[in-house]
A and B are shown apart, each in its own frame.
Chain A
């Protein structure tokens, strides 16, 4: 009980060390509660596609489309996972990099859609609906992340080509 009283009397101002440590703790929980589940999702999706052989089908079908961005057909899996969660998209890309399917430069391009159109549905509720955007504009809102991703992938590819990193 004495401790509780102390906390109440003390000014709320924390030292920088305390801020750092509570931030690191927060980061740990972000890792365990948000990244870890998404990573397991991303890796299970890929494993499922590999065991069923579907990944080869997807690769052939999407090769022409993904080729526009300098990516192999398999990277459609990254886009699909990112649609559910940004971190799952990143996890799928990291997995495909480990398999030698994607290069480091291609992974850099894929950060753009993983971020910009990641968690598309979840964030529609969290941002567009919470901000109470005019219902007439909501279709347009849904198109923005997708257009952003396309522009982002093209620009990133050009930057990598121009700097010789790809």
Chain B
């Protein structure tokens, strides 16, 4: 995996800062801050729609139903999604994902029982459903991971798939409603994914032991 090493070496200070800023933006810690730091919060930067006339309603209005209501609701979500995707692309460009690879490389083995070489595809699965699965297949074909490791890694990817991007995109309708910031929700989803993958790890290890016992 010479590729992995090359990428690892290129982690810059800029990449680390970008990663930290993205985490802070989504963490919600600055949401109710007094002073200029509140400009670091994703929801604060997303802003709000104006109210129509003297009513308390935005352009979505009230009392809508069915396909028409779904359409208007979807329209109202587009600004945040466009902004979030733009931010993720910017921090990726600045090298945040490379920093994340460096961060996760050493802990993949204890956390999921898969080799550190999976770091790039592991980080890619934060924002893409498809890159990880293709890379998993390739790594098995090149004999870099075992059959069991392939199943563990695939189980991690399957539940919730691209956990960061999907939370922003698919849960957009719920994000203005939920009582937690998006950051803690993503962390919790991530922990559940790791739990599920370890369940597979546990079951397959148990099976191996049984087979070995015979």
Query: Which A residues have a C-beta under 8 Å from some C-beta of B?
Result: 14, 16, 19-28, 30-32, 34-36, 38-44, 47, 50, 85-87, 89-91, 93-95, 97, 104-105, 107-108, 110-112, 114-119, 123-124, 126-128, 130-134, 137, 140-141, 144-145, 147-149, 151-152, 155-156, 159-160, 165-166
Given A133-B150, A144-B158, check contact A165 B188 (CB 8 Å).
Answer: no
Write the chain B residue with the least CB distance to A138.
B151
B48-56, B105-113, B134-142: which lies at the A interface? B134-142
Question: How far is A137 from B195 in the complex, measured between Cα atoms in Å?
Answer: 17
Say whether A144 contacts B133, CB under 8 Å. no
| Interface residue from B154, B159, B174 paired with A93 (Cβ < 8 Å) | B174
For residue A83, give the distance in angstroms from its CB to the closest CB of chain B: 13
Residues 136-171 of B at the A interface (beta carbon under 8 Å): 136-137, 140, 147, 150-151, 153-155, 157-161, 163, 166-167, 169-171
Is B130 on the interface with A (CB-CB < 8 A)? yes
B3-11, B26-34, B76-84: which lies at the A interface? B76-84
Say whether B129 contacts A123, CB under 8 Å. yes
Question: How far is A102 from B157 in the complex, measured between Cα atoms in Å?
Answer: 30
Say whether B69 contacts A95, CB under 8 Å. yes
Say whether B71 contacts A40, CB under 8 Å. yes
Given A31-B78, A151-B192, check contact A19 B93 (CB 8 Å).
Answer: yes
Question: How far is A44 from B67 in the complex, measured between Cα atoms in Å?
Answer: 5
For residue B196, give the distance in angstroms from its CB to the closest CB of chain A: 4
Given the complex, which residues of A lie within 8 Å of B39, measured CB to CB? none
Interface string of B171-208 (1 = CB under 8 A from A): 11110011110000100110011011101100110000
Question: How far is A84 from B70 in the complex, measured between Cα atoms in Å?
Answer: 16
Given the complex, which residues of B lie within 8 Å of A85, measured CB to CB? 170
Say whether A144 contacts B199, CB under 8 Å. yes
Say whether B166 contacts A86, CB under 8 Å. yes
Say whether A108 contacts B169, CB under 8 Å. no
| Interface residue from A38, A90, A148 paired with B159 (Cβ < 8 Å) | A148
For residue B169, give the distance in angstroms from its CB to the closest CB of chain A: 6
For residue A123, give the distance in angstroms from its CB to the closest CB of chain B: 5
Given A31-B78, A35-B77, check contact A118 B88 (CB 8 Å).
Answer: no
Is B20 on the interface with A (CB-CB < 8 A)? no
Is B103 on the interface with A (CB-CB < 8 A)? no
Given A23-B87, A35-B81, A137-B200, check contact A152 B192 (CB 8 Å).
Answer: yes
